[in-house]
Amino acid sequence: MVGNHCYCFSSIITIFVSIAIHSTLASPRLHFCRHDQRDALLEFMHEFPIDKSFPSSWNKSSDCCFWEGVECHNKSGQVISLDLSDKYLNGSMKTNSSIFKLQYLGDLSLTNCNLQGEIPSSLGNLSRLKYLDLRSNNLVGEVPASMGHLTELEGLSLEKNSLSGSFPSSLANFTKLTRVFLNSNNFTSTLPSDMSGLHNLEWFDISENSFFGPFPKSLFTISSLIIVSLEKNQFTGPIDFENATSSPLFKLEDLVLASNKFDGLIPESISKFLNLQDLDLSRNSFSGPIPRSISKLDDLRHLDFAKNKLEGEVPSCLWNFPTVMLSHNFFSSFENVSQESTDIHRLDLNSNSFRGPFPDWVCKFYRLEYLDLSNNLFSGSIPSCLSRFTYFLMELTLGNNNFSGTLPDIFGDATRLESLDVSRNRLEGNFPKSLIHCKALKHVNVGSNKFKDKFPHWLGSLPSLHVLSLRCNKFFGPLYRRHMSSGFKSLRVMDISHNDFTGTLPPHYFSSWHEMTTLTEEYNQYMESHSFFDAYFDSFPFVPENYESVEMVIKGVEMSFERIRKDFRAIDFSKNRIHGKIPESLCSLKELLVLNLSGNAFTGVIPRSLAKLTKLETLDLSCNKLSGEIPQDLGKLSFLSYMNFSHNHLQGSVPRGTQFQSQNCSSFMDNPELLGLEDICRKPNVLGPTSHQPEEVSESEEPMFNWVAAAIAYGPGVFCGFVIGYYIFTSGYHEWFAERFGRRKIRVVTSVR
Ligand SMILES: *[C@@H]1O[C@H](CO)[C@@H](O)[C@H](O)[C@H]1NC(C)=O
Ligand SMILES: *[C@@H]1O[C@H](CO)[C@@H](O)[C@H](O)[C@H]1NC(C)=O
Ligand SMILES: *[C@@H]1O[C@H](CO)[C@@H](O)[C@H](O)[C@H]1NC(C)=O
Ligand SMILES: *[C@@H]1O[C@H](CO)[C@@H](O)[C@H](O)[C@H]1NC(C)=O
Ligand SMILES: *[C@@H]1O[C@H](CO)[C@@H](O)[C@H](O)[C@H]1NC(C)=O
Ligand SMILES: *[C@@H]1O[C@H](CO)[C@@H](O)[C@H](O)[C@H]1NC(C)=O
Ligand SMILES: *[C@@H]1O[C@H](CO)[C@@H](O)[C@H](O)[C@H]1NC(C)=O
Ligand SMILES: *[C@@H]1O[C@H](CO)[C@@H](O)[C@H](O)[C@H]1NC(C)=O
Ligand SMILES: *[C@@H]1O[C@H](CO)[C@@H](O)[C@H](O)[C@H]1NC(C)=O
Ligand SMILES: *[C@@H]1O[C@H](CO)[C@@H](O)[C@H](O)[C@H]1NC(C)=O
Ligand SMILES: *[C@@H]1O[C@H](CO)[C@@H](O)[C@H](O)[C@H]1NC(C)=O
Ligand SMILES: *[C@@H]1O[C@H](CO)[C@@H](O)[C@H](O)[C@H]1NC(C)=O
């Protein structure tokens, strides 16, 4: 993690420095602690409630110049550097703090000290400060105007506090500044109109604030700039780099303008930054075509224009860049592609307006690892020439198009393939058997097609398969066949609903589904040490870009965050013709949250031990031939918020538990001998006793909303975000995620030096 790197690095430096200092001890002592400096340091220490978080070396019996985190000038003995990073100070810096007696301080690092309150105005008294680092604290209020006195400042980090108000405008005059981090605060202002005087500036990160106003043109006249991030602010209007002509030697490597309200064309002048490696303009309102001049950017590695209003033809020069993200735009066609490319690794064209046949020149991209063409109007067949890059392929997403024909059986060498999604097309025929070679597969979604095949039981041998959806196809035949090993030890979600599976399931059917039986030790440790949100955000050096959509989805379908936790486990066998008893081994899947066996021909009683599934939130057993009583113990399942027992032959009385009593009346209807429904069916805003008539449900109609499907479907808009959230939370493949979704290269944002 970023912070840790930083910490290790500075510790190494500290060790190095102290070794260096100690090694000079043999020679005459050149510096020693000045008592005024020592007293100031001790007073500073006592200003905080928890002295013991200070290093033990901070005591009167030792030379203060050798105290941990303290560095003195080697002749005068004045303290020139103070680094208390990662010490839990848990207090505020007083305006009259003794630290301000350390007049020669050039370097002050109070990173991650849990500092509270405001930045005291007397900080401006430390006029020799070159480096000021106050990152991962809880500082509030505005940056004091007195900071304007710190004209020697070269590095400033106020990152990750809750500072608000306006940009410290005096900064625009600090000509020595090389690094500025104001990211992740609450600043709400415009930027100074002229920042061109910062001619040593290399790194400027003000992301995740509420800065507004026009694009800061003057910034881009500074030729020393290497990294600029204005991500997640409220900047508006067009961008342009017209004034950037003054120097041909622009060093700019990373330009991140994502998640603002910029609009207009992407200017041709962008190509003035010939050293650009990372260009992220995603999540704005840019319109028009991609400028042709982009072809001049030979060093570009990551181009992200996703979520804009770009349109027209996609120029073929893009295929020389390793990562190209163009999703959620209005692109409709491609420039003719003649050249082959081994440069491009990740191509995301999802949710555009492409139509016509599969763009089979993609087969010329021999090193493709990630291909997403989903949510377009591509039609025709999926070409078998894709086999040219299946060896490198890790993720193939073609869902929600109009592809027809068979899915070519080309996965024999796809040993790195982790995710295959061809859902919501018109594919037919056999399910590709070569997938058995894809030992890395984690996610297979072929739902909502017309595949007509037997159950691919051999998938059970894939060691990492987490998600399998065959829903809404024409799969047929027995779900279980004798002598086959069930496997599926890593399965977390299985959705085979709306097919024509038949047969019975033996009692031991689920006994090898380990991933639904216990959560791994690793998972438990993870949950203990992290709150949900921390875990989510900690894993990324940047807030993940799909965060918004996750949030939107959750609001959209009124689901709680719990639903997409890392531990989501679900089984949906609904709408098939499976008969016989509900297998007893189901009751060992203690991690199961969603179980849907609705619309089959299950007979016998509901197993009493189903009450062992203490995490169960959704239980749908409706439309079967179940008889006997509803086990009273189910009334104890406190998370069970949805259940449906309707259209069975159940009898006896409904359990008294509050979860039962708060259900809709229709969850029990058409069980003529079921008793104790008076209270449930008398409640207001339920269907009422008259609803005992079974509803007409069309056979072919797909349900509008289904829990499991929602969680695993790749799709437009809401579902897309959901899936991504699902991956993050359920699998914990944060790095996997970052890789696959083509995160820009991860910079270890460290010190202000
Ligand atoms: C004071 O600091 C010295 C030098 O680091 C250390 O050896 C000694 O144990 C410390 N004394 C106390 C009481 O902590
Ligand atoms: C003292 O510090 C100065 C500047 O930091 C350095 O050039 C000089 O070599 C140091 N002297 C000794 C004896 O360490
Ligand atoms: C930190 O300070 C706050 C009050 O400012 C206090 O409530 C909290 O208990 C302190 N934390 C610790 C660990 O002492
Ligand atoms: C800071 O400087 C101002 C005037 O320059 C002085 O009044 C104030 O006492 C100083 N503060 C501290 C804490 O030294
Ligand atoms: C700082 O001021 C507070 C009152 O505001 C006082 O209690 C404290 O003793 C002062 N500290 C110093 C170091 O002067
Ligand atoms: C920047 O410096 C100029 C000239 O020294 C001065 O006029 C101006 O007020 C300063 N701006 C800020 C914001 O301090
Ligand atoms: C920034 O401040 C505004 C208003 O003070 C607040 O609504 C918002 O949540 C804050 N943002 C963060 C990231 O704390
Ligand atoms: C940009 O250049 C134009 C024309 O040279 C000039 O008038 C304008 O002040 C410049 N803007 C900035 C922000 O430097
Ligand atoms: C692109 O290729 C298609 C088919 O190969 C051809 O019909 C079309 O004329 C070509 N367009 C250009 C601009 O070369
Ligand atoms: C889907 O493809 C078929 C031919 O395979 C075509 O007739 C139909 O118009 C296509 N639908 C759309 C919406 O493009
Ligand atoms: C329970 O299932 C039946 C049959 O599918 C359905 O008609 C009824 O609406 C469901 N009840 C609830 C509360 O969802
Ligand atoms: C269970 O499956 C049936 C048929 O697919 C569906 O209508 C119902 O909504 C599902 N129940 C839940 C709770 O998702």
Q: CA of 575: how far to CAs of 320, 450, 550, 600, in Å?
A: 47, 16, 29, 6
Q: Name the residue at shortest CA distance from atom 8 of ligand 8.
A: 243
What is the atom index within ligand 2 of the atom nearest the CA of 75? 1
Q: Is the C-beta atom of 644 inside 6 A of ligand 11? A: yes
Residue 182 lies in a domain: no
Q: Name the residue at shortest CA distance from atom 1 of ligand 2.
A: 74
How many structural domains compose the chain? 2
Cα of 385 from ligand 9 centre, angstroms:
20
- The whole-angstrom separation of Cα 92 and Cα 44 is 11
Q: Name the residue at shortest CA distance from atom 11 of ligand 3.
A: 90
Q: CA of 24: how far to CAs of 10, 19, 21, 66, 131, in Å?
A: 21, 9, 5, 12, 26
Q: Name the residue at shortest CA distance from atom 8 of ligand 5.
A: 96
3-state secondary structure 72-108: ECCCCCCEEEEECCCCCCCCECCCCCHHHHCCCCCEE
Residue 279 pairs in a beta bridge with: 255, 303
Residue 194 pairs in a beta bridge with: none
Q: Name the residue at shortest CA distance from atom 8 of ligand 12.
A: 706
- The whole-angstrom separation of Cα 202 and Cα 271 is 19
Q: Name the residue at shortest CA distance from atom 8 of ligand 7.
A: 186
Q: What predicted TM-score, i.e. pTM, was given to this entire model? A: 0.83
Cα of 186 from ligand 7 centre, angstroms:
5
Q: CA of 277: how far to CAs of 39, 78, 352, 532, 629, in Å?
A: 50, 43, 25, 33, 66
* Residue that the structure tokens 């560095």 belong to: 71
Cα of 30 from ligand 2 centre, angstroms:
9
- Ligand 2: lining residues by beta carbon, under 6 Å: 30, 74
List pLDDT tens digits, range 301-336.
999 999 999 999 999 999 999 999 999 999 999 998
Q: Are 325 and 546 in contact (CB under 8 A)?
A: no
Residue 136 lies in a domain: yes
Ligand nearest to the CA of 316: 9
Residue 25 has which token pair?
A: 């001890």
Q: Three-state DSSP class for 428?
A: strand
What is the atom index within ligand 3 of the atom nearest the CA of 50? 14
Q: Name the residue at shortest CA distance from atom 4 of ligand 1.
A: 57
Specify the CATH number for the domain of residue 98.
3.80.10.10
- Ligand 8: lining residues by beta carbon, under 6 Å: 196, 217-218, 221, 243
User: Which among 620, 663, 666, 704 is the best mutation to test ligand 12's pocket, defined by most ligand atoms within 8 Å of the CB?
Assistant: 620
Q: Name the residue at shortest CA distance from atom 9 of ligand 11.
A: 666
Cα of 122 from ligand 4 centre, angstroms:
6
Please choose, from the candidates 203, 212, 264, the residue with its C-alpha nearest in 3D space to the C-alpha of residue 234: 212
> Residue 244's pLDDT is what?
75
Specify the CATH number for the domain of residue 647.
3.80.10
Amino acid identity for residue 738 in this structure = A
CA angle in degrees (0–180, nearest 5) for 44-46-51: 115
Residue 566 lies in a domain: yes
What is the atom index within ligand 12 of the atom nearest the CA of 644? 13
Cα of 332 from ligand 4 centre, angstroms:
64
What is the atom index within ligand 7 of the atom nearest the CA of 208? 13
Cα of 558 from ligand 12 centre, angstroms:
17
Amino acid identity for residue 589 in this structure = L
Last residue of a domain, one of 131, 155, 179: 155
Cα of 255 from ligand 6 centre, angstroms:
28
User: Which among 42, 92, 96 is the best mutation to test ligand 5's pocket, defined by most ligand atoms within 8 Å of the CB?
Assistant: 96
- The whole-angstrom separation of Cα 714 and Cα 721 is 8
Residue 745 lies in a domain: no
Residue 19 has which token pair?
A: 């070794």
Q: Name the residue at shortest CA distance from atom 12 of ligand 7.
A: 186
Residue 572 lies in a domain: yes
Last residue of a domain, one of 155, 181, 201: 155
Q: In the structure, how many helices (H) and strands (E) does the chain have?
A: 10, 44
- The whole-angstrom separation of Cα 73 and Cα 69 is 14
Q: Name the residue at shortest CA distance from atom 10 of ligand 2.
A: 74
- Ligand 6: lining residues by beta carbon, under 6 Å: 148, 169-170, 172-173
List pLDDT tens digits, range 152-174.
999 999 999 999 999 888 889 89
- In sequence order, what are the residues at sequence separation of 6 or more whose Cβ sits closer than 8 angstroms to the Cβ of residue 72? 31, 33, 34, 37, 64, 65, 78, 79, 80
- Burial code (b: 16+ CB inside 10 Å, e: under 16) for 426-461 equals ebbeebbeebebbebbbbbbbbbbebebebbbebbe
Q: CA of 364: how far to CAs of 283, 322, 341, in Å?
A: 30, 14, 6
Q: Is the C-beta atom of 90 inside 6 A of ligand 3? A: yes
Q: Name the residue at shortest CA distance from atom 9 of ligand 5.
A: 96
CA angle in degrees (0–180, nearest 5) for 310-183-753: 120
> Residue 84's pLDDT is what?
92
Residue 660 lies in a domain: yes
Length of the chain: 753
Q: Three-state DSSP class for 700?
A: coil
CA angle in degrees (0–180, nearest 5) for 557-558-564: 85
| Full residue range of the structural domain in which residue 65 is found | 31-155
Q: Name the residue at shortest CA distance from atom 11 of ligand 6.
A: 170
Cα of 641 from ligand 11 centre, angstroms:
14
* Residue that the structure tokens 């929602």 belong to: 710
Q: Three-state DSSP class for 627?
A: strand
Amino acid identity for residue 98 in this structure = S
User: Which among 98, 125, 127, 149 is the best mutation to test ligand 4's pocket, defined by most ligand atoms within 8 Å of the CB?
Assistant: 125
User: Which among 48, 52, 90 is the best mutation to test ligand 3's pocket, defined by most ligand atoms within 8 Å of the CB?
Assistant: 90
Q: Three-state DSSP class for 696?
A: coil
Last residue of a domain, one of 133, 155, 177: 155
* Residue that the structure tokens 């955000």 belong to: 537
What is the atom index within ligand 2 of the atom nearest the CA of 30? 13
- In sequence order, what are the residues at sequence separation of 6 or more whose Cβ sits closer than 8 angstroms to the Cβ of residue 60? 38, 42
* Alpha carbon 265 to its chain's center: 29
Q: Name the residue at shortest CA distance from atom 5 of ligand 1.
A: 57
Q: Three-state DSSP class for 169?
A: helix
Q: Name the residue at shortest CA distance from atom 14 of ligand 2.
A: 74
* Alpha carbon 511 to its chain's center: 33
The greatest distance separating any two alpha carbons of the chain, rounded to the nearest whole angstrom, comes to: 100
Q: Are 187 and 210 in contact (CB under 8 A)?
A: yes
What is the atom index within ligand 3 of the atom nearest the CA of 49? 14
Cα of 316 from ligand 9 centre, angstroms:
13
Residue 256 lies in a domain: no
In the DSSP assignment, the letter for residue 548 is H
> Residue 730's pLDDT is what?
27
Cα of 125 from ligand 4 centre, angstroms:
6
Angle between helices 717-731 and 547-556 (to 10 degrees): 110
Rounded mean pLDDT for each run of 10 residues along the chain, 753 residues in total? 34 33 41 86 88 83 91 90 91 93 95 93 94 92 92 94 90 93 94 92 95 94 93 96 71 95 96 93 97 94 96 94 96 88 92 95 93 96 95 94 97 95 96 96 94 95 92 96 82 94 95 86 51 33 29 27 57 97 95 95 96 94 97 93 95 91 93 90 53 35 45 34 28 29 37 61
Q: Three-state DSSP class for 344?
A: coil
> Residue 70's pLDDT is what?
93
- The whole-angstrom separation of Cα 325 and Cα 371 is 10
Residue 259 lies in a domain: no
Q: Name the residue at shortest CA distance from atom 14 of ligand 4.
A: 100
Q: Name the residue at shortest CA distance from atom 3 of ligand 3.
A: 90
Ligand nearest to the CA of 663: 11
Residue 388 has which token pair?
A: 């040219």
- Ligand 1: lining residues by beta carbon, under 6 Å: 56-57, 59, 61-62
Q: Are 131 and 155 in contact (CB under 8 A)?
A: yes
Q: Is the C-beta atom of 404 inside 6 A of ligand 10? A: yes
Q: Are 250 and 228 in contact (CB under 8 A)?
A: no
What is the atom index within ligand 12 of the atom nearest the CA of 498? 5
Q: Is the C-beta atom of 695 inside 6 A of ligand 11? A: yes
Q: Name the residue at shortest CA distance from atom 10 of ligand 3.
A: 90
> Residue 72's pLDDT is what?
92
- Ligand 7: lining residues by beta carbon, under 6 Å: 162, 164, 186
> Residue 551's pLDDT is what?
29
User: Which among 355, 379, 427 is the best mutation to test ligand 10's pocket, defined by most ligand atoms within 8 Å of the CB?
Assistant: 379
Please choose, from the candidates 174, 158, 161, the residue with its C-alpha nearest in 3D space to the C-alpha of residue 108: 158
Residue 389 has which token pair?
A: 């890059």
